[in-house]
Amino acid sequence: MLLVKTRIGPSKIHGIGLFADQFIAKGTLVQKFMPGFDLIIPESEIQKLSEPAREQFLKYAYKNKDGQYILCFDDTRFLNHSDNPNLISNNPTEEIDVAAQDIQKGEELTVNYKEFDADFDYKMSIH
């Protein structure tokens, strides 16, 4: 769940992106997994989907280190990948993102998919 003001818009990185709609200071908690709002879906359920439905689902979900798929209910799903992200996960036991640097209003928010998405290589191969 996003904990700061954001908006979606056209991205120079890929398709649609998520942008800060306020100044975000370095170290600010920006996003946190929230049971009841964000979904955990076992891989066995994903395999039951038709191929087109599975592709659509995988576009916005990610596979965590436990092999479960996470689908965020809010605009978190529009975070694009960067090798030099401005959001980082600094807690290996929780699914959270904090600002790695000061982020200006209007700046695109990015994460490094390699840090948390077990399907990273697959996703990069289809884009």
pLDDT-flagged residues of the chain (< 50): none
Q: pLDDT per residue over 1-23, tens digit each?
A: 999 999 999 999 999 999 999 99
pLDDT (0 to 100) of residue 69 = 93
pTM for the predicted model, two decimal places: 0.89
Domains detected in the chain = 6-126 (2.170.270.10)
The pLDDT of residue 126 is 65
Question: Where in the chain does DSSP place strands (E)?
Answer: 6-10, 16-20, 29-32, 39-42, 62-63, 68-71, 80-81, 87-88, 96-99, 108-111
